A and B are shown apart, each in its own frame.
Chain A
Amino acid sequence: MTILGLPIQVLLGQLTIGLINGSFYALLSLGLAIIFGLLNVINFAHGAFFMLGALAAWLALTVGAVNYWWALALAPLATGLFGIIVERLLLRRLQGLDHLYSLLFTFGLALAIEGTVRDIYGTSGLAYPVPAALRGPVDLGFMRLPAYRIWVVAVALVVCFGTWALIEKTRIGSYLRAGTENARLVQALGINVPLLVTLTYGFGVALAGLAGVLAAPIYQVQPQMGSSMLIIIFAVVVIGGLGSTMGTILTGLTLGVIEGLAKVFYPQASSTVVFMIMVVVLLLRPAGLFGKEA
């Protein structure tokens, strides 16, 4: 059976890859958006934390014989902790200044982290095996999909929507939403906003770390995996706008799928299709699809 001249397997296969990429886009842009919402910081180091999550999983396996399942819980925690230290000791000092300084600071941080990892481990990448329980394909009848990739999408969806629920439906989520609107007033109402800020940064960064662990068996651990991903994430965030949590998640997923489909029909342009969409969205709707500010 073919659609538009392509066998359905190929189409669905690319769709799945697109959904996987979309899962990473959603997880990463969600973390970036959460951090930006409360701290007003564009965390240029987000890609580096993504990479560190993958690296942490690899180190856990190679040095500590800690398996994937533990790494899935521990690596994000470690990444989050590192993020908390960075925020508390360094980033906080830039609080009252023009936001561009925190962008530049995290830019420098990304360079330093990436440079260090590249220096220690080289550029060719470290191999990370797919966990035994998730190896092999899952037979869906009309097509077969690698089990691990289904796992990645499932985890990403659960975490994304779980985060959405946390933000939109809980008390602590209301602190975050209110703080995003007016952090100073929230503080005057008795909430320890500086602590909230630190934890939020840690959480956003932990999301990146989790994405890193999920990515390790697929992309292997490479020092530059973060920065190549980050630039696309920036475009995703500009397209989606930073106005709504669900909007950010959906934009990430959708763009991944579109990119995957573009690869089928026009492979050469697939790496730039996200940017081209960004240009179009900017021309038609500068605030982004779900954005709230001009």
Chain B
Amino acid sequence: MTAQSLPQAPLTTPALSVRDLHAWYGHSHILHGISFDVAPGEVVALLGRNGSGRTTTLRAIMNLVGRREGSILVAGRETAKLQPHRISRLGIGYCPEERGIFASLSCEENLLLPPRIRDEAMRDDEIYALFPNLLRRRDAPGTKLSGGEQQMLAIARILRTGARTLLLDEISEGLAPVIVDALFDLILKLRELGFTILLVEQNLHFTAPLADRFIVIERGKVALEVEARDLEASTAAIDRLLGV
């Protein structure tokens, strides 16, 4: 399948607009011109084989790669020349694949680390209401938290900043089914609340009911874009690209 045609001129500014994104780690050219949009409030899933460039796409949006070229508009603002902390301040919360919970900080210190971007963001007690187990474990050192707790913490801390666009990398990976269910419910709730979510996921079962749109990345390029309603019909094509 070749690259799709982009949606018609959107009526509202996309929350995220990526155009011809190239990215390198050192001399390795990983992304070869990625282009896609994410509308406000949309949940978009990035699928693809390992090494296809999904995680790199998220990292490139946050400017965490060695070198990048192309255009990345966040709510209409060009971020190609911005440092990661300025990109984050525009309202993007990033949840890395390795979760990134700091070992030398306590659970609560991890939660409170990222600064609030907007005053209307959730208050600390609201966050704790959403994540009661983090309240219980607030003084535990980062290293002592379980995988599920770390994942919840990684999401909680970016929610607390007031970010409205979330980049989530492999959040269900390696977690017990009951935790995965809890995460699923959480993402569903965030979608209801109008968050814009870009999700990198291996697990199609997890993403299928959540996402409005699916983008398949192969070898650093967008290979296929499918609306949720067409997912069933495109399963064969997607499976082929994922090498299943």
Seen from chain A, the residues whose Cβ lies within 8 Å of a Cβ on chain B are 171, 174-175, 177-178, 180-182, 184-194
Contacts and interface: CB of A to CB of B under 8 A. Distances in A.
A3 B113 CA distance: 53
A177 B101 CA distance: 12
Interface of B: 62, 64, 83-85, 87-89, 94, 96, 100, 102-105, 109-110, 112-115, 117, 157-158, 161
B105 A188 contact: no
B113 A189 contact: yes
Given A186-B113, A189-B113, A189-B157, A181 B84 contact: no
Contacts of B157: 189
B105 A190 contact: no
16 contacts: A174-B113, A175-B113, A178-B113, A181-B102, A184-B84, A185-B100, A186-B113, A188-B85, A189-B88, A189-B94, A190-B114, A190-B117, A191-B85, A191-B113, A192-B85, A193-B85
Contacts of A184: 64, 84
Contacts of B158: 189
Contacts of B85: 187-193
Contacts of A191: 85, 113-115
Nearest to B89: A190
Contacts of B114: 189-191
Nearest to A177: B104
Given A174-B113, A182-B102, A188-B64, 20 more contacts: A171-B109, A171-B112, A174-B105, A175-B113, A177-B104, A177-B105, A178-B104, A181-B102, A185-B100, A187-B84, A188-B96, A189-B94, A189-B158, A189-B161, A190-B85, A190-B88, A190-B115, A191-B113, A191-B114, A194-B83
B145 to A, nearest CB: 15
A247 to B, nearest CB: 13
Nearest to B100: A185
Contacts of A190: 85, 88-89, 114-115, 117, 161
Contacts of B88: 187-190
B62 A180 contact: no
Contacts of A194: 83
Contact of A178 (B105, B115, B117): B105
B115 A187 contact: no
B70 to A, nearest CB: 18
Residue in B102, B104, B109, B114 with the greatest tally of chain A CB atoms within 10 Å: B104
A154 to B, nearest CB: 29
Nearest to A195: B85
Residue in A175, A177, A189, A194 with the greatest tally of chain B CB atoms within 10 Å: A189
B120 to A, nearest CB: 16
Contacts of B87: 188
A192 B115 CA distance: 10
B62 A188 contact: yes
Contacts of A182: 100, 102
B217 to A, nearest CB: 20
Residue in B88, B103, B109 with the greatest tally of chain A CB atoms within 10 Å: B109
Nearest to B161: A190
Nearest to A186: B113
Contact of B109 (A174, A187, A189): A174
Contact of B103 (A174, A181, A185, A193): A181
Residue in B85, B94, B117 with the greatest tally of chain A CB atoms within 10 Å: B85
Contacts of B100: 182, 185
A187 B94 CA distance: 11
A88 to B, nearest CB: 15
B103 to A, nearest CB: 6
Contacts of A188: 62, 64, 84-85, 87-88, 94, 96
Nearest to A169: B109
A181 B105 CA distance: 10
